[in-house]
């Protein structure tokens, strides 16, 4: 968390920065662990100051602010980061501030409560090196059915774990993986190669539907309140969750099962043992 829907929501929130000239880059002094900044702040400033924001894109769970120099400011929120254009939830966790002139907004910033995220200034070659097709699979919200099925159906791993592999398809994290599998009636420990192709088509359908609906609702703000959109508002997809973080509660789908929590690859998985089939 944040996952694809939350990062896409942030990207859309940063669109008013397009056309702005970067006039200042500030790194506030705060008493918390520093985030990774690459390159260091001085060469970062030297390369980015005076550049114009041409576009704001997303690759997987990263936001790319495209600059007229050919470089991009690449923000990776990881567990608790937010790219914003408004006042942040707390000033003491603001990590970098980019002042703008000539845009609809006067600045954008990167905020991170836990300090696990990164802000990089990468050339097009570096983006290809780190985020190209050799590193990441197709976007989970746009991948076509044949590509999706072909990439997963022969893997000898548990399906929930495979959905988190960014080299197969990118953008799905723990929360949306369990919601997708519940919607598709597939038990998370099922082996990918044992799942019929007809069921993989169902998983693909639910993947597209759930991710797109979550984007429309601006992502999920969980009980810790950490995730906010670019103008410090809450997401709304948490109200649609059927299994995530609902252990010991009745299944909203079949009305017969009770949601269980298991651990897969050191991550919590939520499922209904009544309506999710094990293959």
pLDDT in tens, the chain (279 residues): 799 999 999 999 999 999 999 999 999 999 998 899 999 999 999 999 999 999 999 999 999 999 999 999 999 999 899 999 999 999 999 999 999 999 999 999 999 999 999 999 999 999 999 999 999 999 999 999 999 999 999 999 999 999 999 999 999 999 999 999 999 999 999 999 999 999 999 999 999 999 999 999 999 998 777 788 888 888 999 999 999 999 999 999 999 999 999 999 999 999 999 999 999
Instruction: Say what the pTM is.
Output: 0.95
3-state secondary structure of 21: strand
Whether residues 74 and 190 share a domain: the answer is no
pLDDT at position 229, please?
A: 86
Stretch (H or E) spanning 43: helix 41-48
Is 217 within a domain? yes
Number of domains forming the structure of the chain: 2
**Domain-located, residue 138:** no
Q: What is the CATH number of the domain that holds 150?
A: 1.10.8.50
| β partners of residue 83 | 110
Task: Report if residue 26 sits inside a domain.
Answer: yes
**88 and 153 share a domain?**
no
Same domain? For 55 and 174 the reply is: no
Q: Choose one of 77, 100, 131: the last residue of a domain.
A: 131
Question: How far is the C-alpha of 249 from the C-alpha of 247, rounded, in Å?
Answer: 6
Cα–Cα distance measured from residue 236 to residue 62, given in angstroms and rounded to the nearest whole number: 21
Question: Are 106 and 223 members of one domain?
Answer: no
| 74 domain residue, yes or no | yes
Report how far apart, in Å, the C-alpha atoms of 225 and of each of 33, 156, 235, 243 are.
20, 36, 10, 19
- In angstroms, rounded to a whole number, what is the distance separating the alpha carbons of residues 26 and 259? 46
Residue ending a domain, among 131, 154, 182, is 131
Domain extent for 169? 145-271
Asked whether residue 158 is assigned to any structural domain, the reply reads: yes
Q: CATH no. for residue 64?
A: 3.20.190.10
Q: Are residues 161 and 44 in the same domain?
A: no
CA distance 24 to 191: 51
Question: Quick one: 106 and 176 in the same domain?
Answer: no
Please check whether residues 84 and 33 belong to one and the same domain. Answer: yes
Strand partners, 262: 269
pLDDT at 228: 86
Q: Is residue 264 within 8 Å of 189, Cβ to Cβ?
A: yes
User: Which distant-in-sequence residues (6+ apart) come within 8 Å of 94 by Cβ?
Assistant: 28, 30, 88, 109, 110, 111
Asked whether residue 86 falls in the same domain as residue 187, the answer is no
Is 278 inside any structural domain? no
Under DSSP, is residue 158 helix (H, G, I), strand (E, B) or coil?
Answer: strand
Gap between the Cα atoms of 77 and 119, Å rounded: 9
Identify whether residues 108 and 149 lie together within a single domain. no
Strands 36-38 and 118-122: parallel
In a domain, 137, yes or no: no
Positions marked catalytic = 2-3, 61, 267
DSSP state of 277: B
d(CA 243, CA 10): 25
Asked if residue 139 is part of any domain, the answer here is no
Residue 181 in tokens? 């599998």
Q: What phi and psi values does residue 108 have, to the nearest 5 degrees?
A: -140, 160
Q: Are 176 and 212 found together in one domain? A: yes
Domain identity same for 115 and 174: no
Peptide bond before residue 39 is cis, with ω within 30 degrees of 0:
yes
Query: What pLDDT sits at residue 230?
Result: 83
Q: Are 32 and 248 a contacting pair, CB within 8 Å?
A: no
């Amino acid at each position: 968390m944040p996952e694809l829907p939350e990062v896409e929501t942030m990207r859309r929130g940063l669109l008013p920065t397009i056309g702005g000239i970067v006039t200042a880059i500030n790194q506030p002094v705060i008493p918390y662990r520093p985030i990774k900044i690459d390159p260091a702040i001085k060469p970062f400033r030297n390369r980015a100051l005076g550049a114009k924001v041409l576009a704001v894109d997303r690759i997987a769970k990263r936001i790319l602010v495209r600059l007229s120099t050919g470089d991009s400011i690449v923000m990776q929120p990881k567990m608790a980061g937010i790219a914003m254009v408004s006042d942040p939830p707390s000033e003491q966790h603001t990590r970098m501030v980019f002042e703008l002139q000539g845009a609809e907004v006067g600045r954008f910033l990167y905020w991170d409560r836990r300090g696990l995220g990164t802000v990089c200034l990468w050339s097009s070659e570096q983006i290809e090196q780190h985020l190209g097709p050799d590193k990441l699979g197709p976007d989970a919200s746009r991948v076509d059915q044949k590509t999706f099925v072909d990439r997963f159906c022969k893997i000898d791993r548990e399906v929930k774990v495979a959905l988190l592999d960014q080299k197969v398809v990118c953008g799905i994290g723990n929360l949306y993986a369990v919601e997708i599998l519940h919607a598709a009636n597939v038990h998370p420990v099922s082996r990918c190669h044992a799942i019929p192709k007809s069921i993989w088509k169902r998983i693909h359908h639910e993947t597209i539907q759930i991710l797109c609906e979550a984007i429309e609702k601006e992502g999920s703000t969980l009980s810790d309140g950490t995730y906010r959109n670019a103008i410090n508002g809450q997401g709304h997809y948490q109200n649609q969750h059927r299994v995530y973080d609902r252990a010991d509660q009745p299944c909203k789908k079949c009305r017969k099962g009770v949601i269980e929590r298991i651990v897969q690859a050191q991550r919590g998985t939520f499922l209904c043992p009544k309506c999710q089939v094990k293959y």
